[in-house]
Amino acid sequence: MRFRPLFFVLLLALASAGTASAQVVISARIGQPYYGRGYYPPVAPVVIAPPPPVYYAPAPVYYAPRPVYYAPRPVYYAPRAYYGRGYGRGYGRRW
């Protein structure tokens, strides 16, 4: 009879299946937690609830714009001061 390694491994696995430790199971299922026989992790129940009520925000309150001046503009009785050349708008611009 020829030696068949695959058959021998399968026979050995069947013989040791009853006494397999948790380590073997963990190594067989990498990345999954080990639970004993007949135990399943707790699962949250499926709760069917009505949708939340639609919330209508109150209408915003619009206020008048801020006044720009709180007092009348001052009255200048003297002509405006002359600052000389170079203080005007656009001075020094050539384009």
* Sign of the alpha-carbon torsion through 85, 87, 88, 90: positive
Q: 53-84 pLDDT, tens per residue? A: 988 889 888 888 876 766 777 777 777 777 76
Q: Between 26 and 49, name the one with better pLDDT.
A: 49
Cβ atoms within 10 A of the Cβ of 26, count?
A: 13
**Per-residue CA distances from 39 to 46, 49, 59 (Å):** 20, 29, 55
pLDDT, one tens digit per residue, over 30-44 is 666 666 667 666 788
pLDDT at 91: 66
Report d(CA 93, CA 95) in Å as an integer: 6
Q: What is the DSSP string of 53-87?
A: PPPPPPPPPP-PPPPS-SSPPPPP-SPPPP--TT-
What lies within 8 Å, CB to CB, of 41 at 6+ separation is: 33, 35
Q: Looking at the predicted structure, is the pLDDT value of residue 46 above 80? A: yes
Q: What pTM was computed for the model?
A: 0.17
